[in-house]
Structure 1
Amino acid sequence: MTFVAPPGYQPVYNPSIPYLGPIYGGLREGSSIYIQGSVPEDITRFYVNLLCGQSDNSDVALHFNPRFDGWDKVVFNTRQNDNWESEDKIRSMPFRKGERFEMVILITSQGYQIRVNGNDFHMFPHRIPVERVGGLEIAGDVAIQTINIIGVRMEPCMGGGYPGMGGGYPGGNMGGGYPGGNMGGGYPGGNMGGGYPGGNMGGGYPGGNMGGGYPGSTLPGMGGQPVYNPPVPYQGMIAGGLSPKRTIIIRGMLPYGASRMAINFIVSRTGDIAFHLNPRLNEGLVVRNSKIGGGWGNEEREINFNPFAEGQYFDMSIRCGNQRFKVFVNGQHLFDFFHRMQSFNEIDQLEIKGDVQISYIHF
């Protein structure tokens, strides 16, 4: 089963390179593009383009081009009417040969703020209005694990049918149809409803399953701004508590030498841990449990695969339902954890600790 995230939060996993995909709904100030990947030992160069269209000959609002050529540098530029403009050359290299990276492009009122491995790298000022951006292109000596576009621009009407989206929502209504999907109703707390049958949105997006927000969606996003690169141990309140259909995205990396980590969903009023998720790398286990009234319950350990390993990035989505939590990692369903306390909607705190670097948390 493939995980389908809420509108605006559909990641792309392991796309083939060169990659070309649409950014449905476009970008705006406050949007961000999150990319995890790796570069080979023999890298020469790669690039990321934000296109003013959906073809590789469109105007380019942002050209981001790391070059390993003896004078390592990153070149920024724009292209209009088939003409490249003046280059910004940054003679510094945030990528390392043969290593993984994570990169965030933050769209601000001034320009594109590039952040690599948690560090601000460069701000490239807007030369072309960001509202024109409609596509993403990645090519060169690079492998991509995850692409995610957050906080897209929303258009006024929904109906009509989008290429690959399964024929158009009648009357612009996202309810109606998805058996078991329950997509209508306005997502309490601005979050994901039900579960699409088979996790499939009806045909897939052209250009490699790129999400980024269905244009015209009047549904709210996941609520709140993402938290980037929080220190660990991390503890944060869950605004509005954890209600059914609420989804939490957590992205991070387990460094070499990591032994274990824990993600806890806590009722702050009592200190109970309603859901304890505990990957133990040295044992090859992913343990789940709860701690209610001061006592631990029975451990659950069965999984179909183990995505947690030293030196690996992970992209986790935890969805709260009426009966259980559904946990997906790197786009695959990992396990379900059935609620052990009736008042699970009192869960109002997230805790992350252990041998882990967290790059992103979003409710």
Structure 2
Amino acid sequence: MAFVPAPGYQPTYNPTLPYNRPIPGGLNIGMSVYIQGVAKEKMRRFHVNFAVGQDEGADVAFHFNPRFDGWDKVVFNTKQGGQWGEEEKKRSMPFNKGTHFELVFMVLAEHYKVVVNGNPFYEFKHRLPLQMVTHLQVDGDLELQSINFLGGQPPAYPGPMNAPSYPRPGYNPQQMNSLPIMGGPPTFNPPVPYTGKLHGGLTARRTIIIKGFVLPTAKRLMINFKVGSSGDIALHINPRMGEGVVRNSFLNRAWGSEEKNISYNPFRPGQFFDLSIRCGMDRFKIFANGQHLFDYSHRFPAFHLVDTLEITGDLTLSYVQI
């Protein structure tokens, strides 16, 4: 069964290094790039490049380069015309050797905003127009778990202040217009417990994305798709550490029979997860980290009345798209 991404959600799971691929639709304001991985025990350095082209010697609009070298720091720079510009440095290391991390680049009008493990880390002002950036490059002493391109809407045409003096390599207007758009603004790093309103209720083919981190001491967490007016729960997802993932419904003030069969449990203490929940006409389809996890047949046929998403338990949330 194929994984169907949500609109505006472009995931790649377990990519190999070096990673050097086109950015779907090109880079534009409002996009976010999520990178999840593990810093190697013997990490010395790695880099993330927003590159102008695919070649090894291509210019780089934004070079992000953590270095463990006795004077631990992160270096930021731009490569233009084959020459590196003036380095910016922050003598603070947000990565720990041998541990998982989540690195987010938010593309804003005046700068890239870098967030590490949910904490704002740095802002790097644009030195090259966004329209010139075509590829994302990642390499170094790390293991990648996922790279996701989220949201953003290409402008109808490049504005006069940001327009490059020449078309970017591989520029294709049709490709830009084909980039899926998010149905609504995502929520970054919301607090837990989380409650979100599903405006318009659940509809067939609507997909909910939840990205988060299971705390090292976690025992349980819960995700509920709920009817706010009655308290009915159409779908209750209850990962239990060391046991599995329990599914159920709470209808007419009573729990139904639990469903427990599952091939694997992606919710492990100390690790990130990426959950996609798709509502179909007769069932929910749930994917975790790009793999099909389980189906859950509707026990509440009027799923369009489901208007609330609740998330609680021993976790932190990094991204919710409803």
TM-score (norm 1): 0.81
Per-residue deviation, residues 156-201 of structure 1 (Å, max 9, x unmatched): 7xxxxxxxxxxxxxxxxxxxxxxxxxxxxxxxxxxxxxxxxxxxxx
Question: Structure 1 residue 278 and structure 2 residue 278: aligned?
Answer: no
CA distance in 1, matches of 2:189, 2:46: 25
CA RMSD, aligned part only? 1.6
Q: Aligned residue for 1:99?
A: 99
1:355 is aligned, of 306, 314, 318, to 314
One-letter code aligned to 1:222: M
CA distance in 1, matches of 2:64, 2:179: 32
Question: Structure 1 residue 306 and structure 2 residue 265: aligned?
Answer: yes
- Superposed displacement of residue 335, structure 1: 0.4
Q: Aligned residue for 2:160?
A: none
- Superposed displacement of residue 7, structure 1: 5.0
Q: Would you say the 8 A contact 1:37–1:101 is kept in 2? A: yes
1:343 is aligned, of 302, 306, 315, to 302
Per-residue deviation, residues 30-55 of structure 1 (Å, max 9, x unmatched): 11101111101111000000011233
Q: Aligned residue for 2:116?
A: 116
Question: Structure 1 residue 223 and structure 2 residue 183: aligned?
Answer: yes
Q: Aligned residue for 2:274?
A: 315
CA distance in 2, matches of 1:73, 1:144: 21
One-letter code aligned to 2:290: G
Q: Aligned residue for 1:58?
A: 58
CA distance in 2, matches of 1:7, 1:23: 15
Q: Aligned residue for 2:192?
A: 232
CA distance in 2, matches of 1:87, 1:102: 24
Q: Aligned residue for 1:149?
A: 149
Q: Would you say the 8 A contact 2:51–2:135 is kept in 1? A: yes
SS at match of 2:196: strand
- The 3 A distance-change label for structure 1 pair 320 and 126 is same
Question: Structure 1 residue 34 and structure 2 residue 34: aligned?
Answer: yes
Of Structure 1 and Structure 2, the greater strand share is in 2
- Superposed displacement of residue 4, structure 1: 3.1
Q: Aligned residue for 1:200?
A: none
TM-score (norm 2): 0.91
One-letter code aligned to 2:195: Q
Q: Would you say the 8 A contact 1:20–1:55 is kept in 2? A: no
CA distance in 1, matches of 2:132, 2:21: 15
Q: Aligned residue for 2:255?
A: 296
Q: Would you say the 8 A contact 1:38–1:98 is kept in 2? A: yes
One-letter code aligned to 1:327: I
Question: Structure 1 residue 19 and structure 2 residue 19: aligned?
Answer: yes
Q: Aligned residue for 1:186?
A: none
Q: Aligned residue for 2:165?
A: none
CA distance in 2, matches of 1:66, 1:58: 20
One-letter code aligned to 2:213: M
Q: Aligned residue for 2:206?
A: 246
CA distance in 1, matches of 2:152, 2:57: 23
CA distance in 2, matches of 1:299, 1:6: 28
- Superposed displacement of residue 10, structure 1: 2.3
One-letter code aligned to 2:178: S
Say which is worse superposed, 4-13 or 95-104, in terms of deviation. 4-13
CA distance in 2, matches of 1:289, 1:277: 7
CA distance in 2, matches of 1:239, 1:87: 46
CA distance in 2, matches of 1:328, 1:295: 27
One-letter code aligned to 1:268: G
Q: Would you say the 8 A contact 2:29–2:152 is kept in 1? A: no
SS at match of 1:10: strand
- The 3 A distance-change label for structure 1 pair 214 and 240 is farther
Per-residue deviation, residues 305-363 of structure 1 (Å, max 9, x unmatched): 22121111111100001101000001100000111112111111000011111111012
SS at match of 1:215: helix
Say which is worse superposed, 5-14 or 345-354, in terms of deviation. 5-14
- Superposed displacement of residue 109, structure 1: 1.2
Q: Aligned residue for 2:284?
A: 325
CA distance in 1, matches of 2:254, 2:202: 22
CA distance in 2, matches of 1:59, 1:218: 24
Structure 1 residues not aligned, in runs of 5+: 157-212
CA distance in 1, matches of 2:6, 2:294: 19
One-letter code aligned to 1:130: L
CA distance in 1, matches of 2:198, 2:266: 26
Q: Would you say the 8 A contact 1:155–1:218 is kept in 2? A: no
- The 3 A distance-change label for structure 1 pair 74 and 257 is same
- The 3 A distance-change label for structure 1 pair 137 and 265 is same
CA distance in 2, matches of 1:32, 1:15: 18
